[in-house]
């Protein structure tokens, strides 16, 4: 089945790999990116299938203009929120502007893309929203506190949203890849180090990534293929976990949380009022 996809953040990583896969199989892609020229070769190869729009997802007015223009081109079957980056540092090390930029890009940008698309999807009475999160939307590493803030936050937004729009024929799926060889590390934004955190878990993670001890098992092309294939699954999966690292880490975290919750059952029930 041929589809039309709207994808943010297509200049690199999973967004770029998805775009390549979809064009090769004959789908239409409306791609957004901040850097001009990155997709020129693909545009020359697939002139009838690829539309390109420059977009910074921290610009809400631009989001609305680009999304409206995209839906004016043709009905869109899948909206993929992929744009984002990682802010890498202990919470105390981060600058105020860095915190704001991370939240504006990873969570507010995603929310505003969805909000701009919803009126069009409702009129169509169909569509799927694919929100790219991370294993970091269910677990947390030290030194990534603000990145995790955005991923846990956007997952909560999607959990509520999917209930709000269930009657409109629109589905939502959260994608949770583990560490994947996408060039994500090269795009990490890092603040100056504080000596106070030397030898702590925060800097130990930083060192492991810098010296290659942080194992990355995920394959970008296979991950993108699985993301594309998930749209053929009905009913739409609430979450798709990708990579053995993500599966193992999320599985362990959920088991631990459930065990802790069950141990608190008596305390939880003790807080009820008498009825």
- Please give the positions annotated as active site: 133, 147, 151
In this structure, what DSSP letter does residue 189 have?
A: B
- Phi, psi dihedral angles at 121 (to 5 degrees): -65, -35
**Six token digits for residue 24:** 């090769």
User: Of 236, 30, 234, which is closest to residue 130 (Cα–Cα)?
Assistant: 236
Bridge partners of 132, per DSSP, are: 175
Assign 92 to helix, strand or coil. Answer: helix
Distance between CA atoms of residues 121 and 1, nearest Å: 19
* Burial class of residue 115 (count of CB atoms within 10 Å of its CB; 0-12, 13-18, 19+): middle
In this structure, what DSSP letter does residue 251 have?
A: H
């Amino acid at each position: 089945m041929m589809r039309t996809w709207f994808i943010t953040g297509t200049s690199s990583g999973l967004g770029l790999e998805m775009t390549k896969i979809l064009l090769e199989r004959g789908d239409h892609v409306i791609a957004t990116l901040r850097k001009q020229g990155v997709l020129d070769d693909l545009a020359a190869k697939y002139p009838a299938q690829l539309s390109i729009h420059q977009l910074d997802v921290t610009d809400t007015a631009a989001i609305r203009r680009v999304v409206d223009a995209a839906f004016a081109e043709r009905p869109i079957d899948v909206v993929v929120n992929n744009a984002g980056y990682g802010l890498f540092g202990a919470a105390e090390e981060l600058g105020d502007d860095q915190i704001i930029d991370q939240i504006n890009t990873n969570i507010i940008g995603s929310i505003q893309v969805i909000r701009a698309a919803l009126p069009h999807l409702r009129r169509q009475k169909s569509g799927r929203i694919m929100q790219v999160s991370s294993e970091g939307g269910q677990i947390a590493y030290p030194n990534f506190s603000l990145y995790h803030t955005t991923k846990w936050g956007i997952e909560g937004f999607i959990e509520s949203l999917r209930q709000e729009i269930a009657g409109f024929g629109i589905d939502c799926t959260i994608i949770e890849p583990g560490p994947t060889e996408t060039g994500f590390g090269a795009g990490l934004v890092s603040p100056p180090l504080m000596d106070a955190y030397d030898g702590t878990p925060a800097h130990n993670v930083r060192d492991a990534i810098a010296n290659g001890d942080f194992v990355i098992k995920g394959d970008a092309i296979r991950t993108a293929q699985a993301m594309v294939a998930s749209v053929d699954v009905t009913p739409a999966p609430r979450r798709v976990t990708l990579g053995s690292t993500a599966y193992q880490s999320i599985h362990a975290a959920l088991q631990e949380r459930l065990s802790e919750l069950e141990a608190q059952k008596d305390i939880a029930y003790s807080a009820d009022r008498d009825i």
